[in-house]
Copies of this chain bind each other. A is one copy, B any other.
Amino acid sequence: MTRKLHLNAFLMGVGHHEAAWRHPRTEPARLTDVRHYQELARIAERGKLDSVFLADGVALHGDFQSGRVRHALRHNALGGLEPLTLLSALAAVTDHIGLIATVSTTYNEPFHVARKFASLDHISGGRAGWNIVTSAGEAEARNFGVVRPSHADRYARATEFLDVVRKLWDSWEDDAILRDRTGGLYADTGKIHAIEHAGEYFAVSGPLNTSRSPQGHPLLVQAGSSEDGKEFAARYAEAVFTAQQTLEEGQEFYADLKRRLAAYGRRHEDVLVLPGISPIIGSTEREALRLEQELEDLIIPAYGLAQLSQMTGIELTEDALDRPLPEVSVETEGAQSRRKLVIDLARREGLTVRQLLGRLAGGRGHRVLAGTPEQIADQLQEWFFAGAADGFNIMPPILPGGLSDFVDHVVPELQVRGLFRYDYEGRTLRENYGLPRPASRYAGARREEVAVAR
């Protein structure tokens, strides 16, 4: 089988561009309207995309308590829906598309997370995926009454969290349920296992109280690009979302991540690397550039400055707009790789702060591509064949229009080139991503006390 691209649609409100809500092609009132997201999922499914994805954080914004940040936030579309709740409602109106939600390992309990994803996997017939994050923000810690844990501590917790969740997903063997009505035997409880996990962060007895789901394990996705993040991805992730600005950086990240797999007994093809791109599509290049300009004209610098200040740790005011980004010394906690990416971008291209805001407004550090469907397909093809990507995380600047433009114009171009499917190959998200279904670690094992009880 020829190697094919995998495509995920990253859904975000009425678009990834920070001024999307002001553009005439969006309807900002749809931010909390489930029908909007259902329409997006159906468009993605019409385009045969592998999956849709919802990002998340557990605080309104980085630093809402600060008067200046709060003031700037007036300009941003805030207050959307919780991803897992939303994905079930999308499962109900789609049949094939994968459904990936972000959930933090820092402010949750593994039992709840294992159970909700197992439920979503049942509800969707095997289409659930979990984007694992560790919640770098200080505002998030303040919503859970704790001091923000260190980067190392968050990843140590995440590692044990994954260990527990995967045990819980395995706690029901595939053939535990008998449903023998005549004999009165619903389940073979010898095939339902307590996990008795006792570790540094968690003590969880199990078993899960939701039976084994269609995929066995919902798909594991990860997006951190720090050392810890890449190591974590190499160990657990089956798809990786990443922000890479240049082909060289993309190749380097790709090779680095794949190289780390062997240490965990995993193969090159066990993880898909999907860089983000925000495609600004026009039927001519000029039309695409006009749309890009329209969006840029709607940017409100105060908002971008507040975002950039938070991302870089540098306090930036409007006076700074037409000067280069100041030298940086202070290290911020978390999101280091995104911070480095942004600073490198400004340096490499000699951008003023205003120009940098324009570049970030489209994709918050992800690559923005403006052009015709052919030009965009060229770029995706180049990265795909140059060892920088197994597919892409599509981040349309405006929604739903930017997604339907991609599905109606870029997808057919990729299909004609033999780079993308004409129809779904599989029934589950794992099958469409070409990934195996994990067996239960307990399969075959029988607990002695049960044998005795019988």
Q: Place the interface of chain A in its size category.
A: 35 or more
Q: A166-207 toward B: CB 8 Å interface, digit per residue (1/0)? A: 000000100001010100111111001010000000111111
Please tell me if the beta carbons of A85 and B82 are within 8 angstroms of each other in the complex: no
Is A152's CB within 8 Å of the partner chain B? no
Q: Across the interface, which residues of B come within 8 angstroms of A184, CB to CB?
A: 22, 75, 298, 300
Q: List 18 A-B contacts (CB under 8 A).
A: A59-B209, A65-B205, A67-B453, A70-B189, A70-B192, A73-B189, A74-B185, A76-B187, A79-B172, A79-B192, A79-B209, A81-B122, A84-B116, A85-B116, A86-B123, A142-B203, A145-B204, A184-B300
Question: In the complex, which residues 115-136 of chain A have their Cβ closer than 8 Å to any Cβ of chain B?
Answer: 115-116, 118-120, 122-123
A: residues with CB less than 8 A from B are 21-22, 28-29, 31-34, 38, 57-61, 64-65, 67-68, 70-71, 73-82, 84-89, 91-93, 107-109, 111-112, 115-116, 118-120, 122-123, 139, 142-145, 172, 177, 179, 181, 184-189, 192, 194, 202-211, 298, 300, 449-450, 452-454
| Closest B residue, CB atoms, query A138 | B205
Q: Cα distance A22–B89 when bound, in Å? A: 31
Q: Cα distance A375–B79 when bound, in Å? A: 50
Q: Cα distance A142–B111 when bound, in Å? A: 10
Q: Cα distance A435–B211 when bound, in Å? A: 37
Given contacts A82-B119, A172-B79, A184-B22, contact A144 B109 (CB under 8 A): yes
| Closest B residue, CB atoms, query A298 | B184
Interface centre among A79, A119, A206, A453 (most CB of B within 10 A): A79
Please tell me if the beta carbons of A85 and B22 are within 8 angstroms of each other in the complex: no
Given contacts A119-B86, A187-B79, contact A58 B453 (CB under 8 A): no
Please tell me if the beta carbons of B119 and A85 are within 8 angstroms of each other in the complex: yes
Please tell me if the beta carbons of B111 and A58 are within 8 angstroms of each other in the complex: yes
Which of these, B87, B115, B122, B143, contacts A204 with CB under 8 Å? B143
Q: Cα distance A181–B210 when bound, in Å? A: 45
Q: Cα distance A78–B87 when bound, in Å? A: 24
Please tell me if the beta carbons of A73 and B206 are within 8 angstroms of each other in the complex: no
| Closest B residue, CB atoms, query A77 | B186
Distance from A113 Cβ to chain B, minimum over Cβ atoms (Å): 10
Q: Across the interface, which residues of B come within 8 angstroms of A202, CB to CB?
A: 145
